[in-house]
Structure 1
Amino acid sequence: MEIIKGGITAPKGFKAYGEHIGIKKSRKDLAVIYSEKEATYVGTFTTNIVKAACVSWNMERYKNVDKISGVVVNSGNANACTGKVGEDNNQTMAAIAAECFDIDQDNVLVASTGVIGKQLPMNAIIEGIKKVAPLATNTIEGGYEAATAIMTTDTFVKEIAVEFTIGNKKARIGGMAKGSGMIHPNMATMLSFITTDVAITKELLDKAVKEDVASTYNMISVDGDTSTNDMVMLLANGMCDNILIEAEGKDYEIFKEALNIVNVFLSKQIIHDGEGVTKVIEVIVEGAKDLVDARLLAKSVITSNLVKTAFFGEDANWGRVLCAMGYSGAIFDPTKVTLYYESTRGKIKLLENGLPENFSEEFAYEVLKEKEITVHIILQEGNFNATAWGCDLSYEYVRINGEYRT
């Protein structure tokens, strides 16, 4: 298994491109993805009751359409809270993309990201799709341009590709994502598009994606906000010609491993690009009584604004970590908790069996000066572990979001 250059166009049969069409002032703002062979499609979607038109459209396809050939994505406008007009505009996007790719509109997915509550500039979008779709290419550059076009407040492109062997066939999986703020998925704005040339049943693909999303995208948080537009979608076109994976076994486990590499990488990239981030925080919970509690604890710590601000200030205020654990909803014995902070500058124990250590504040400050910090929480309650990723909360985050529409 090897990470290779590229993203969503690395697997056989996938083309993509992205271009500026006028939704945003200057940055690229429309992307397309096309599979030469109809692809099996699964997805996970925001749990926010307020859902964008594209989310409802894609959920309907997920339930009722087995194969997908095209995807069209716009950035700069979420097309959320836009009523019947927004729904019609979403369908028009699918219809125009379908016309360009000579497929049925029900075989097209749509994604939007950006400002909520504004109608899409449909003249620009219709002409834009007609302009961008013919440019779709299976080159590395095509995938990169698409990954660029889905960005909003992102500061860098997030893409990855992995090559592996299924049976005696070389297979690939590629992914691209966007996300910087409003990241607290619970299936931020968080969009992830994954392509693979592996042949696998929809049932197993669905199982693999749901399980992996639970331990990757759903374990990250920048600001605690779950977007109206969050989506992870995976297309599998089977063009590597492997024997169809229709039962759990060796080939399925290999595929799951490759999928996890993609999703962990993209999740971490989203955190590294969090709005105003100066610290990236990994929280590892060990020894929980069950997986639910392990995940609740890890996620509660990275979501706490008091924990975030302590890391921004490089302050080893471990009491805030314990406080966040206490209101997480998980069951644990505080008198058994041991807590460490670690970075490339060293590792420091702050708490053992629920009692504070007489640690050096000066050394703790040195440990916390690094950008990447790990919080180790040992519970001694059972054998279940979980990892979550988050970031600090800085003045810059407030500035970016205070000026978002200006």
Structure 2
Amino acid sequence: MTPEVRVAPAAPTRAPAGPADPADPLPEAYRILLVEDDAGDALLVEELLSDTDLRHSLRWAPTLAGALAELAVEGADCVLVDLHLPDAQGLDVVTAVQAACPQAAAIVLTGLRDTGAGERAVAAGAQDYLVKGQVDERLLQRAVRYAVHRKQAEQASAELRENRIRSQENARLERGLLPTPLLRSAGVVVTSRYLPGRERAQLGGDFLDVVETADGAVHALIGDVSGHGPDEAALGVCLRITWRALVLAGHRGVELLDLLEQVLVAERTRGDMFATCTTVLFAPDRTEATLHLAGHHEPLLLAGGPSEVSAAHGIALGLAPGLRHWPATTVRLPTAGALFLYTDGLTEGHTGPDRDRLGTQGLLGLIAAAPDSGTASFLDHLIGAVHRLNAGRHADDLAILHLAWDRSGDRPGRTTPHGRQVTTG
């Protein structure tokens, strides 16, 4: 047997893929790499495998360096490895093989007087060991199949543990990004939604919060950290918690945003990270609201039909630290209605198979066409409609704050969550 790729005639090589289902006893073909410097022992292994009904492809490397090169290019499902090679000895061989191809099952080949080395190799992470001269085709077939399946089970268990840890981490982030509104009265009814855009993520860089202070004023925040990932999510949590603390400490308007920007600059992990946000301050009597836009788009007013609030724009937090350009806009509020605050994940999706974006006008159309229902059902319907139009394409993080009030109580003329007038008896 020469040190080149050898393929068992009955076993077409399969393309590298994820681990086979352990319940499947006969994958398409096991990719086996033999690391053995003795040509006679290598030929014996080849003959034993050819006498099995194991579908496989076999490659041979007489040195560790050759094996590592093979693994880097082709990978393997199973590596049969001798611990005494010209360029490496002992457990270092197993360690190097596992580092080069973590998904491969390792089976150590030992001599009759060296079974202790095989046991130590198993303790170090190998799936099994075989004693040269005491192996027949049935034992070799069984060892390969079981080793591969055990490796797959180990990887599945490790992935499950990783997912559990990630879920716990996301739950902690969720408590930071999606807090319980701190309200003292029922003057403003808060309904929110949050969906991350990253695959397998529970959280993104969007953040929101609502706080009522002792004077009866209700403060609301919605924002979006640039980029996607755990650093952005962590910064969003930091900004949200900082905003709540500053509001409760009595900071307002430009001063509040300036302090929030200082925290962003101090906590961001990259110099190009910034955040957009909208803050809303409802007067205690709910007759007016003061808006500050920091690089964020205007909220929508849902009262007598949805419309976009006309508000002055300021610069995003972190783009030009110290500029402090955040003009205030005061809006007179109708007797009943809602402010609809959202991040751009709701409007940047497509409107179908073409490249047109939904945009604010498209969102207004969806809101106007939504069926009459409770606020929660209305928001769920709206998000579902946006996702259907986007046709499964990648979506940005999405956050919504629906802030409703009704100073008149449940009387004729109040509005639905969609902004349409209804009559009640």
Q: Which has the larger radius of gyration?
A: 2
Higher relative contact order (CA 8 A, sep 6+): 1
More strand by percentage:
1
Fold-level similarity (TM above 0.5): no
TM-score, normalised on structure 2?
0.28
